[in-house]
Chain A
Amino acid sequence: MKPAILVEGLSKAFVLRKTAPGIFGAFTSLFAAHTARFQAVESLSFSIYPGQKVAFIGPNGAGKSTTIKMLTGILHPTAGTAEVLGLVPWKARTALGFQIGTVFGQRSQLWYHLPSLETFNLLAKIYELTKSAYKTRLDELIGIFELEKLLDRPVRQLSLGERMRCELVASLLHKPKILFLDEPTIGLDLNAKMQIRELLNRLSCEHGTTLFLTSHDTLDIEKIADRVLVLDKGSIVLDSSLNELKSNYKDQAMEEIIQDVYAKSS
């Protein structure tokens, strides 16, 4: 089977401008700027197969968002290559856009003052869906995500959990083969988190959507993922199936397991 995501030696370095502290430092940096190279991601290699549910985790600054940005075509890598659904993301961003979905927990794609249905109608146009395909898909997603009563309410009147369900529907309208989720449960209460996890599992099970998830919530990892990629300081320090990881760390909570992986890597 051909991998949905294939990454080989992917690296990204940023050149950061350094400013000395204080007014004098700020002034001198205008004339003599000091720069430093920051290696955000270093030689990542992995492959993800269709239908897999992968948790891509790591501490803040580990390079998770940079990797997602490269895999969705937002950032160009410094070295290495990647293929997502057979396309090089940074060369074919628009074409890839039709085949992937993204949910960024802290960013909304819904129009704040309008009912979510209006955003769905707009996205159907953006993703160039035919009317019949859109209607069928929307009806299906409304059923899965239980949105019947929410469609006509302005987004500003929705709770965070309800909004996130709408965000997921917005990301799934065009039937993406891969869904990138960056902290999809951030800020949600326990019930809403459980609901989102159940819905993601149902989606993956019924439609075979590949899930690529980042989260700091270990329950997200336990309840959704079947494979775990741990990133630290720009490199992968663990690539394991969830079952294997659990059997290696008998009776330990996921949080302790992850802490142990970080400790070993440093």
Chain B
Amino acid sequence: MYMPKVHKYWAVFSLSFMQAAKNIKVLVGLSIFLLTCLIIFAHIWHVATHHSETARYAPELLLWYIAFNQWVLVASQDVNLEIQEELQTGSLAYSMVRPISYLGAKFTESFGRLCAQLLFLGAVTFVFAALWTGCVPFSAFEGAVMLLFGFFAGMLALIFQMVVGVTCFWLQDSTPVSWVFEKLLFVLGGLLLPLACYPEWLQTVAHYTPFSIILGARSALVLDNSHEQIAFIGMAFLAWLLVGLICLKALFWRGMKILTVQGG
């Protein structure tokens, strides 16, 4: 069955994926950055696990935890800045002339690029982690689930970054919101430290935000990959994806009113 609407978004996704895959310099640059982070953390964890709350986890497991976090974090792009630029330069307004939704095209374009980066960086990250630690602490099935969740996490991060970008309709500059979002992601997402090592009240706060699902709670499947935990993370993804999409659609709709009536 020919579905032109689906085909056009698929075409945007494919083209974006191809452009990102051909941009080898960026992929190599991101890989070097990611490996540098992992090597530093590998050394930090080696020392820290002997002197802190994290002593309950083996340094090898913690490196895998960090690898899953950094993989998604480094692959995610600042799509909010792209939206901001397109709004400020008028490109967003001019793109409305084409029979394709801006929001849908932006999402599929960014997701295409994200997928290319996740695939490339995933290969680099997990080969490095396996070689460095000398172990793979999960079964093939668990690994496949965690990889799939990595793509979901990237998608969720992308949606919330787009929400941040859309705030430009009101703020003109989304950098402050982006800064706050990023710091909350680092802290409540458990970027450096598994959420289980946080004070209990902070764990509770983190569990009620999308940040832990994007990073820490998902990566913690390395530490606890029970089926209940996998099911919980899967449900949380769906719930937060829904919340993110509703927020994005509602804010964009309000923003477009400003653009079409007040001229931006």
B135 to chain A, nearest CB (A): 39
Q: How far is the CB of A41 from chain B (nearest CB, A)?
A: 11
- Report the count of interface residues on B (CB-CB < 8 A): 26
A-B contact count (CB 8 A): 71
Question: B175-195: which residues lie under 8 A (CB-CB) from chain A?
Answer: none
Given contact pairs A111-B19, A126-B98, A66 touches B8 in the complex (Cβ within 8 A): no
What residues on A are CB-neighbors of B15 within 8 Å?
Answer: 111, 114, 118-119, 121-122
CB neighbours (8 Å) of A122 from chain B are 11-12, 15
A73 to B260, CA, bound (A): 8
Q: Check if A256 is an interface residue, CB within 8 A of chain B.
A: no
A27 to B25, CA, bound (A): 45
Contact call B23/A126, Cβ cutoff below 8 A:
no
A127 lies within 8 A of B97 (CB)? no
Q: Mark A114-131, 1 if CB is under 8 A from B, else 0.
A: 100011011001111000
Complex Cα gap A14–B258 (Å): 11
A75 x B263 contact (CB < 8 A): yes
Q: How many angstroms between the C-alpha atoms of A168 and B164 in the bound complex?
A: 34
Our pick among B18, B19, B89, B96 for the contact of A74 (Cβ within 8 Å) is B96
The yes or no answer to A102 lying at the interface (CB within 8 A) is yes
Q: Could you list which residues of chain A lie within 8 angstroms of chain B, going by C-beta atoms?
A: 12, 14-15, 40, 66, 69, 72-76, 90, 93-95, 97-98, 100, 102, 104, 107, 111, 113-114, 118-119, 121-122, 125-128
CB within 8 Å of A: which residues of B? 4, 7-8, 10-12, 15, 18-19, 22-23, 89-91, 93-94, 96-100, 259-263
A-B contacts, 10 listed (Cβ < 8 Å): A40-B263, A90-B260, A104-B94, A107-B90, A114-B19, A114-B22, A125-B4, A125-B7, A125-B11, A126-B98
